[in-house]
Chains A and B, each alone.
Chain A
Amino acid sequence: MNAERIKDDELSDEPVPVMQQLLDNPFLLLFLGIAMPTVLYIVWGVMEIVSLPIAK
């Protein structure tokens, strides 16, 4: 029983891996999931369109 408790304590003290911290944070994921396509698809795409020369 005692040994089990020690084991539990050890487990709770174990640092959570960085990747798991990322995956356990829905708001960080929300930020990434919005920032990535906003920059790579919308902003980049819109910049290309607005930089097109106007036909004369």
Chain B
Amino acid sequence: MSVNRMFRTCPSSGLVFHEPAEKLMRWNAVAAAVSLLIGGLLAIGVVLTRWQAVHLLPADRFYQFLTAHGLNMLVFWIIFFEIAVLYFASSTLLKARLATPGMAWAGFWLMVLGALVNNYSVFRGDSSVMFTSYAPMGAHPTFYLGLILFAVGALIACFVFFGTLMVAKAERTYHGSVPLVTFGAITAAIIAVFTIASGAIILIPTFLWSVGLVEHIDSLMYKTVWWAFGHSSQQINVAAHVAVWYAVAAIVFGAKPLSEKVSRGAFLLYILFLQLASAHHLLTDPGLTSHWKIFNTSYAMYLAVLASMVHGLTVPGAIEVAQRAKGYTHGLFEWLRKAPWGNPVFSSMFMSLIGFGFLGGISGVMMGTEQLNLIIHNTIYVPGHFHATVVVGTTLAFMGLTYFLIPVLFRREVAFPTLAKWQPYVFGLAMMGVSLFLMGAGTLGVPRRHWDIGFAGNAFGYEFPGAAWLMMALAGIAGLVAIVGGGMYLLITVWSVFLGKKITTPGFQHVRARDGIAPSPQPVAAAIAAHHPSAGAGGLVAPGTFALAMVFLVSFVLYYFINWKYLSTVWPLK
């Protein structure tokens, strides 16, 4: 049989890599890093313009930078990395050969082509329509074409992932249910298929409209269907980074989920309800009824929020149980104090969890409430929220996973280890600052997209309070520090991958699957891929996590109450 069945077992982790899958993971990770570099460079212009005292770019250049920044970060960086995660979670964790590697490469090159075409379109200068690209604001046809090509490539990758699951099942490479991390990846892939299909439904007619073959695109119809693509694309991230949290807990601590049943049930809630939260972008739009809005946000979205809270409880809970088993039992938080805070794999993941929950999660629920949404709709609070979810939550989690993958996947030592130790703190804490300051400014009414909050030269100006200007300045400073943190990540990863010290394994050779891959049961591979009985049964096994959950709950209730109080002052009923 001519099918390539070459596998390699990582000597340090015990993980099994199928050669074509390994190569695809590497190329997708490199494409992701390139997108992050482009998006990061553009962020400098965005940050220094919204910092009103600097106000670097003229309006046209600002919107161009903002468009390219949004697309490179929210779409290209994240989805290239997620495809690598999908191949890792299917082929590597299930020890299976990748289904149709040729199709996977076709998907990858389509994604690369789509990203290039889309960037070309934006840098031409006539497609500064921002990430949302609301019709009837039109872009050059290549803008939509690039996105469509990218989406088709990503869809192919998703089906290669599902095909690999079938291969693994047919060739009996695992027993029983798939590992929890793979189940999280399945959740991400399902949301991705819906996301891409929604994108096709709206972007194909919009492309035809841009070339003159369709006469009219209804703006409300566009917004409604587009957000099924635009917001759901960020829900892929949520499922993927939660899967990464579970993986990192297993990698660093050998942690077992408190209850696999509960964790899988929470992922099921994501599959059923997470995508419906897209409706919160339309809460102030006329034409859609409150029934539709409230069902999709306040009812369905809360079930997805419940799932996030389950994951937010079970991941640190699992870590606490693992740490207590190692003897860190003193008081409520010795397990946390004695955690490996100098290991960037752990520190990235834990800050991702805290930032996603406290900043992104609580603000997301507030925004998803129809009445409260009125306070902050289309203000810079919204970018504050999604920099907490997508950047602190997803990007930081992916950065942490990268530090694990450099030696395991790329077979290189991590370069500049001291810098790597500090990088998650520089990037994560600064980005938490960006989120908080933008949310603060948004609460004071600073618009999301207006280039100049001074409204210089406008007939109808508006004077924002001094605190709003201060918040924007602080967001600018924190943004610059975060860009430095992102630069540190790229320096470490690029240097490690291309110039880092090679890790060689004496006597290494590829083994054919039919001859038996016989991986040695190393702790990491076993911890990620194995199934575990419930660790949380029979009493309070994670009291520290329970205390943290109570802090979260009190913060949540207080913040929710404060916003209702605030609403009553800005919208007096007489």
A residues lining the B interface (CB < 8 Å) = 20, 22-24, 26-27, 29-30, 32-34, 36-38, 40-42, 44-46, 48-49, 52
Q: Which of B178, B191, B221, B228 contacts A41 (CB 8 A)?
A: B228
Q: Which of B162, B177, B273 contacts A23 (CB 8 A)?
A: B177
With A36-B272, A49-B218 as contacts: A29 and B288 at CB distance below 8 Å = no
Residues of the A chain whose Cβ atoms lie less than 8 Å from the Cβ of B129? none
Q: Which of B177, B197, B201, B278 contacts A34 (CB 8 A)?
A: B197
Q: Are B190 and A37 closer than 8 Å at their CB atoms?
A: no
With A23-B183, A26-B186, A37-B276 as contacts: A45 and B292 at CB distance below 8 Å = yes
Chain B, range 263-293, C-beta contacts under 8 Å to A: 264, 268, 271-273, 275-276, 278-279, 282, 287-289, 292
- Kindly provide the distance from the CB of B520 to the nearest chain A CB, expressed in whole angstroms: 24
Q: Are A48 and B287 closer than 8 Å at their CB atoms?
A: yes
Residues of the B chain whose Cβ atoms lie less than 8 Å from the Cβ of A30? 162, 190, 193
Q: Which of B162, B183, B191, B276 contacts A27 (CB 8 A)?
A: B162
Q: Are A42 and B191 closer than 8 Å at their CB atoms?
A: no
Complex CA distance for A42 and B225, rounded to whole angstroms: 6
Q: Are B275 and A52 closer than 8 Å at their CB atoms?
A: no
Q: Are B194 and A49 closer than 8 Å at their CB atoms?
A: no
Hey, what's the 0/1 contact readout for B54-87 against A, CB within 8 Å counting as 1?
0000000000000000000000000000000000
Q: Which of A23, A41, A42, A49 contacts B268 (CB 8 A)?
A: A23
B residues lining the A interface (CB < 8 Å) = 162, 165, 177-178, 183, 186-187, 190-191, 193-194, 197-198, 201, 218, 220-221, 224-225, 228, 232, 264, 268, 271-273, 275-276, 278-279, 282, 287-289, 292, 295-296, 300
Complex CA distance for A12 and B554, rounded to whole angstroms: 46
- Nearest residue (CB) in B for A37 is B275
With A49-B221, A49-B287 as contacts: A37 and B228 at CB distance below 8 Å = yes
With A26-B162, A27-B162, A45-B224 as contacts: A32 and B271 at CB distance below 8 Å = yes
Question: Inter-chain contact count A-B, CB under 8 Å?
Answer: 83
- Kindly provide the distance from the CB of B257 to the nearest chain A CB, expressed in whole angstroms: 14
A-B pairs, top 7 by smallest CB distance, nearest first, are A33-B190, A37-B275, A33-B271, A45-B224, A34-B194, A30-B190, A26-B186
Residues of the B chain whose Cβ atoms lie less than 8 Å from the Cβ of A41? 228, 275-276, 278-279, 296
Q: Are B271 and A29 closer than 8 Å at their CB atoms?
A: yes
Contacts A23-B183, A40-B296, A45-B224 known; list 9 others, CB within 8 Å. Answer: A23-B177, A26-B165, A26-B186, A33-B187, A33-B194, A37-B276, A46-B224, A48-B287, A49-B221
Residues of the B chain whose Cβ atoms lie less than 8 Å from the Cβ of A44? 292
Complex CA distance for A38 and B275, rounded to whole angstroms: 9
